[in-house]
């Protein structure tokens, strides 16, 4: 039978091949030219009709059954307001929204919830943003009762444990530390601040000081104010019987007492910002970012449908006007795009942006202004409009392909006061959009005379002065204020300074003396290192070569390969797995590293202002004298001196493994002679009291000849 089937299959394939090359087939190919195929218009999104009812305590409930899969999903929304967040505690909403879930309830801790949800393949989440709070769950049908009960528990009675609050603060600090890393987020942030005003609640951002000020009672107060049944809209979708779900919801939420029914403060609407050019300097980039912006509009505006097509035609894809004119035709943009400026709860911000070479920044700004002005004066071409409208319609269909997405959007409409048939009205409005409606909407919504231009980059490399753009120039400071000092040092009296200086001089003497250290101009070190990150340990070997102060290269070998980082006195780089990347921040970090190094401390102890602290400290059973070094680049820098005068440890506020600030501790041991100095052959590093690295020095060479080529950026592998 097998042979027969094989022969039949071979014969069939041969027959198909003959048909493929037959004259008749060739005629069919000409008849069915794929270029002449037409595709039917997409149907409207079919909006399901969920059951809506209101519980006695004010909870608005939407139920929509679907028995395709044994899964139940739910989302709860609550009205909130940024006016409830004190200016000195910005970050409170993010932290509270996270810790509601991560902290759990009195009956079930957040860690227990993590384990239980993982065991049954379920999830529970909570969050708070500017205008709303939300919570949700997803579970298998068989676990609906249990998960709904736990969901209600954390929503109604979270406990906000101190350790989870601190963990959430760590995440917020990391976000603060990295907020200037990416160009587009910087542009959007500065644009929002420039249009709304820095003091507007929607433009405020967390700082180290505002995060540090948040306490448990702040979380409890915000939760009590926002999470009230009469502010709640709950949508449940999936494999359940509506009668049974109503009973479950009554059991878990029915005894939740109404709140005070106070009206949620309406969002503050800013006035029209004055047109100007806002420049934010950023020296560690190889490109410039440009945005033009002004206040936008709400989505319930009659022009909303036309403006969504306008957005797509202006800057919504590779066939948009901005991409074609700035990137394709002129070759000036890495990226370009636009947002029409619609939002649901409040007016959004219109933005048109471009990322470009530094030496074409202001040329790109001119083009942005010209093209955006042009589309308020003349309609898009038929081809542009056709592509844009099809893209909007297609995107809508795919965004709401699942009934659950439509249900959850309907609950959002309920929360924000939009009509429940808003999606259907929007689809009908889209059908009537044409070149004329888009142009008229653009004339009403886009105001070139109100543009606030935002430019981020290196001013010295721009092709012409900022002042040549015909706008008043405002300089924005995007630097990140450092966290407050936690070192209680008192007044730096002459006696304290003299004592501190003596401690450092003695430590240098114990280690071989300042003249011997000052004679060291270069060094080569080989170490065995063990690094711990996120509970995982990695063993590696490193070779560091340093021609002080500003030529440095470090190669590390791991089990998965080797990576090298270097600085040639001008620019930084990293090479790994055949790839080479620029690292603009390496020079700044190397400068700090050199200042804190033993080579600098012991070679020039008199160059530092060292203040001895009044009280000694006992660490690991050893009582040490402690001194604070005043530095512009290193904060809270403490030196610990052992009873014999040797430097035992160093503490300072550094950058953690995840980017945020971390209290860094370096512990030195096993001092041995190398040339004419004593150098520690073991070193331990802790960050926020957690071990991150242990290192053993295996070989060290003083004053080796290190040529310039050693530090140069290598070529990438082809």
Q: Are 572 and 561 in contact (CB under 8 A)?
A: no
Q: CATH 3.30.830.10 occupies which residues in the chain? A: 61-253, 276-475
Question: What Cα–Cα distance (Å) separates residue 135 from each residue in 126, 233, 237, 499, 555?
Answer: 4, 10, 14, 58, 47
The 3-state secondary structure of 482-512, one letter per residue:
CCCCCCCCCCCCHHHHHHHHHHHHHHHHHCC
Q: What is the mean pLDDT of residues 146-163?
A: 97
Answer whether residue 40 shows pLDDT above 80: no
End-to-end CA gap in the chain: 53
User: What integer pLDDT is reported at residue 227 of this predicted model?
Assistant: 96
Strand partners, 613: none
Answer whether residue 15 shows pLDDT above 70: no
User: What integer pLDDT is reported at residue 268 of this predicted model?
Assistant: 74
HSE (CB half, 13 Å, CA atoms) of 555? Answer: 12
Cβ count within 10 A of residue 602: 26
Residue 396 CA to its chain's centroid (Å): 26
φ, ψ at 315 (rounded to 5°) = -155, 35
User: What integer pLDDT is reported at residue 25 of this predicted model?
Assistant: 45
Closest CA to 683 of 700, 692, 674, 696: 696
User: Considering the chain, what percentage of its residues have pLDDT values greater than 70?
Assistant: 93
Q: Which two tokens stand for residue 634?
A: 């290193």
d(CA 47, CA 408): 12
User: What integer pLDDT is reported at residue 315 of this predicted model?
Assistant: 94
DSSP 8-state secondary structure symbol assigned to residue 400: T
Answer whether residue 6 shows pLDDT above 80: no
Least confident stretch, 63-72, 334-343, 576-585, 698-707: 576-585
Topology of domain 61-253 in CATH is: Cytochrome Bc1 Complex; Chain A, domain 1 (3.30.830)
Q: Which two tokens stand for residue 493?
A: 């009296």
In which order are the strands placed within the sheet that holds 60-65? 51-54, 60-65, 232-238, 71-79, 132-140, 123-128
Answer whether residue 28 shows pLDDT above 60: no
Least confident stretch, 138-142, 175-179, 714-718: 714-718
d(CA 468, CA 366): 11
User: What integer pLDDT is reported at residue 21 of this predicted model?
Assistant: 42
Residue 533 banded pLDDT, cuts 50, 70, 90 = confident
Q: What is the mean pLDDT of residues 279-294?
A: 93
Residue 430 CA to its chain's centroid (Å): 33
In b/e form, how buried is each residue of 643-653, taking b as 16+ CB within 10 angstroms? eebbbbbbbbb
pLDDT digits (tens, 9 = 90+) for 388-402: 999 999 988 888 889
Residue 408 banded pLDDT, cuts 50, 70, 90 = very high
Q: What is the mean pLDDT of residues 42-66?
A: 90
pLDDT digits (tens, 9 = 90+) for 232-279: 999 999 999 999 999 999 999 999 999 887 788 877 788 888 999 999
Residue 29 banded pLDDT, cuts 50, 70, 90 = low
User: What integer pLDDT is reported at residue 262 of this predicted model?
Assistant: 77
User: What integer pLDDT is reported at residue 661 of this predicted model?
Assistant: 83
pLDDT digits (tens, 9 = 90+) for 84-119: 999 999 999 999 999 999 999 999 999 999 999 999
User: Considering the chain, what percentage of its residues have pLDDT values greater than 90?
Assistant: 77
Least confident stretch, 10-19, 21-30, 147-156: 10-19
Closest CA to 248 of 402, 104, 59: 59
Q: Are 240 and 72 in contact (CB under 8 A)?
A: yes
How does the average pLDDT of the chain come out, rounded?
Answer: 91
The 3-state secondary structure of 572-596, one letter per residue:
EEEEECCEEEECCCHHHHHHHHHHH
User: What integer pLDDT is reported at residue 35 of this predicted model?
Assistant: 64
Three-state DSSP class for 514? Answer: helix
d(CA 588, CA 479): 14
User: What integer pLDDT is reported at residue 662 of this predicted model?
Assistant: 85
Q: Are 335 and 355 in contact (CB under 8 A)?
A: yes
User: What integer pLDDT is reported at residue 502 of this predicted model?
Assistant: 96
pLDDT digits (tens, 9 = 90+) for 200-224: 999 999 999 999 999 999 999 999 9
d(CA 92, CA 84): 10
pLDDT digits (tens, 9 = 90+) for 459-514: 999 999 999 999 999 999 999 998 888 787 777 899 999 999 999 999 999 999 99
In b/e form, how buried is each residue of 476-509, taking b as 16+ CB within 10 angstroms? beeeeeebeeeeebeeeeeebbebbbbbbbbbbe
d(CA 272, CA 528): 60
What is the secondary structure of 429-463 as a DSSP string? HHHT--HHHHHHHHHHH--GGGPEEEEEE-GGGSS
Higher pLDDT, 13 or 82: 82
User: What integer pLDDT is reported at residue 42 of this predicted model?
Assistant: 66
The CATH classification number of 494-711 equals 2.50.20.10
Three-state DSSP class for 472? Answer: coil
Residue 2 banded pLDDT, cuts 50, 70, 90 = very low
Answer whether residue 134 shows pLDDT above 90: yes
- Neighbouring residues of 53: CB distance < 8 A, sequence distance ≥ 6: 60, 61, 63, 246
Q: CATH 2.50.20.10 occupies which residues in the chain? A: 494-711
User: What integer pLDDT is reported at residue 4 of this predicted model?
Assistant: 39
Q: Are 304 and 426 in contact (CB under 8 A)?
A: yes
Three-state DSSP class for 607? Answer: helix
φ, ψ at 388 (rounded to 5°) = -65, -45
User: What integer pLDDT is reported at residue 273 of this predicted model?
Assistant: 87
φ, ψ at 704 (rounded to 5°) = -70, 160
> Which of the following CATH numbers is that of domain 276-475: 3.40.50.2300, 3.40.630.30, 3.30.830.10, 3.40.720.10?
3.30.830.10
Q: Which two tokens stand for residue 641?
A: 């001196």
């Amino acid at each position: 039978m097998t042979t027969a089937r094989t022969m039949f299959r071979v014969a069939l394939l041969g027959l198909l091949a003959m048909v493929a090359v037959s004259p008749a087939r060739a005629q069919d190919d000409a008849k069915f030219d794929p270029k002449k195929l037409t595709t039917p218009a997409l149907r409207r999104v079919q909006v399901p009709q969920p059951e809506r009812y209101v519980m006695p305590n004010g909870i608005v409930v939407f139920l929509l059954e679907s028995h395709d899969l044994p899964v139940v999903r739910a989302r709860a929304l609550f009205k909130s307001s940024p006016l409830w967040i004190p200016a000195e505690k910005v970050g409170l909403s993010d932290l509270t929204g996270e810790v509601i879930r991560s902290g759990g309830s009195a009956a079930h801790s957040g860690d227990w919830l993590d384990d239980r949800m993982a065991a049954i393949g379920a999830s529970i989440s909570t969050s708070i943003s500017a205008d709303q709070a939300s919570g949700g769950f997803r579970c298998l049908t068989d676990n609906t009762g249990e998960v709904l009960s736990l969901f209600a528990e954390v929503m109604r009675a979270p406990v906000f444990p101190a350790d989870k609050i601190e963990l959430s603060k760590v995440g917020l600090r990391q976000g603060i530390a990295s907020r200037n890393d990416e160009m587009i987020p910087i542009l959007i942030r500065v644009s929002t601040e420039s249009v709304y005003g820095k003091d507007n609640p929607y433009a405020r951002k967390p700082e180290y000081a505002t995060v540090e000020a948040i306490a448990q009672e702040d979380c409890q107060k915000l939760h009590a104010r926002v999470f009230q049944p009469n502010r709640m809209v709950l949508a449940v979708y999936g494999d359940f019987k509506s009668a049974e779900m109503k009973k479950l919801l009554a059991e878990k939420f029915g005894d939740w007492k109404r709140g005070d029914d106070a009206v949620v403060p309406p969002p503050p609407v800013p006035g029209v910002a004055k047109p100007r050019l806002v420049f934010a300097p950023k020296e560690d980039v190889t490109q410039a970012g440009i945005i033009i912006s002004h206040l936008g509009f709400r989505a319930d505006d009659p022009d909303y449908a036309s403006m969504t097509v306008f957005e797509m035609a202006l800057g919504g894809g590779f066939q948009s006007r901005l991409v074609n004119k700035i990137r394709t035709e002129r070759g000036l943009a890495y990226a370009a795009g636009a947002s029409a400026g619609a939002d649901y709860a409040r007016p959004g911000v219109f933005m048109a942006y471009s990322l470009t070479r530094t030496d074409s920044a202001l040329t790109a700004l001119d083009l942005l202004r010209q093209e955006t002005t042009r589309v308020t004066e003349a309609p898009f071409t038929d081809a542009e409009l056709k592509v844009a409208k099809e893209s909007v319609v297609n995107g809508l269909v795919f965004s709401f392909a699942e009934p659950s997405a439509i249900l959850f959007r309907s609950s959002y409409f309920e929360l924000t006061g939009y009509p429940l048939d808003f999606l259907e009205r929007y689809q009908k409005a889209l059908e009537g959009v044409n070149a004329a409606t888009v142009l008229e909407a653009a004339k009403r919504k886009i105001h070139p005379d109100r543009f606030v231009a935002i430019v981020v980059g290196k001013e010295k490399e721009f092709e012409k002065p900022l002042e040549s753009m015909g706008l008043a120039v405002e300089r924005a400071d995007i630097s990140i204020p450092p966290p407050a000092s936690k070192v209680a040092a008192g007044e730096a009296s002459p006696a304290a300074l003299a004592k501190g200086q003596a401690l450092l001089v003695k430590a240098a003497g114990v280690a071989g003396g300042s003249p011997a250290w000052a004679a060291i101009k270069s060094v080569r070190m080989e170490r065995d290192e063990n690094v711990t990150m996120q509970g995982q340990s990695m063993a590696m070997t490193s070779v560091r070569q340093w021609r002080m102060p500003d030529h440095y290269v470090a190669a590390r070998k791991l089990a998965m390969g080797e990576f090298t980082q270097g600085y040639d006195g001008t620019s930084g780089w990293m090479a790994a797995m055949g790839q080479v990347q620029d690292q603009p921040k390496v020079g700044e970090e190397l400068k700090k590293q050199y200042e804190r190094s033993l080579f600098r401390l012991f070679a020039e102890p008199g160059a530092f202002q060292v203040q001895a602290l009044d009280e000694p400290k006992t660490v690991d059973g050893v009582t040490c004298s402690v001194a604070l070094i005043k530095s512009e680049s290193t904060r809270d820098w403490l030196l610990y001196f052992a009873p014999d005068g040797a430097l035992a440890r160093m503490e300072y506020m550094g950058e953690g493994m995840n980017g945020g600030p971390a209290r860094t501790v370096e512990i030195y041991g096993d001092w041995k002679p190398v040339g004419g100095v004593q150098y520690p052959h073991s070193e331990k590093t802790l960050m926020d009291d957690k071990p991150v690295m242990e290192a053993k020095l295996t070989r060290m060479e003083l004053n080796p000849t290190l040529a310039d080529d050693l530090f140069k950026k290598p070529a990438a592998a082809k």
